[in-house]
Amino acid sequence: MKVLVVGANGQIGKHLVSFIQEHDSLEAKAMIRKQEQVSFFENLGAETAVVDLEDGIETIAKAAEGVDAVVFTAGSGPSTGKDKTILIDLDGAVKTIEAAKAAGVKRFIMISSFDTRREAIQAANSSFAPYVAAKHYADEWLKRTDLDYTIIHPGMLTNDQGIGQVSAAVEVERGEIPREDVASVIVASLENNQTIGKEFQVVGGTTSIKEAIDSI
């Protein structure tokens, strides 16, 4: 399975490309924004596509040609303004969904926020609410397509070393999860067709990632 990782230069994305390249039955194509980011992925043996999420659907679709799955791990980041939240976390996600459809790619995994229900938008503080709203509508757009989607809602992300154990379900208690473990959850979801058409929250826990994803 060839996987286009959108936002590959992000912290989850780098772990994900590395894990995919170590996997016998998976192959990564890293979609990145800057030419100077190419060498990191070439050293992993991964193909690259230099594309900005503010480009058009056609440009993103060209990057998605010939792949079997798309994983959206991109994000505008906490240091940008509300404009980038809309352009990347909402419009960039929607354009990637539409690009996957245009390229004939059925499998799509979205890395979302922990809780993107409408109630979560209302409960969020004023600085975080635009991000939750953007993720809410991107998730809703994906769910209304005929793509084989999975939406993953990770808890608070950390840079701790992954432990390979999580708690995953439609709803779990709020908690933290290493980015490295999120990448492993994505790989497990790609390998498990039972996750198609589902969304789930995931935090650090005591169940192996494979077992946790098998039970979704």
| Catalytically active residues, by annotation | 131
Angle at 79 between CA 49 and CA 161, to 5 degrees: 70
Q: Which two tokens stand for residue 59?
A: 């440009």
Residue pair 15/73 in contact by the 8 Å Cβ criterion: no
Burial tier of 119 (Cβ tally within 10 Å: 0-12, 13-18, 19+): exposed
Burial tier of 146 (Cβ tally within 10 Å: 0-12, 13-18, 19+): exposed
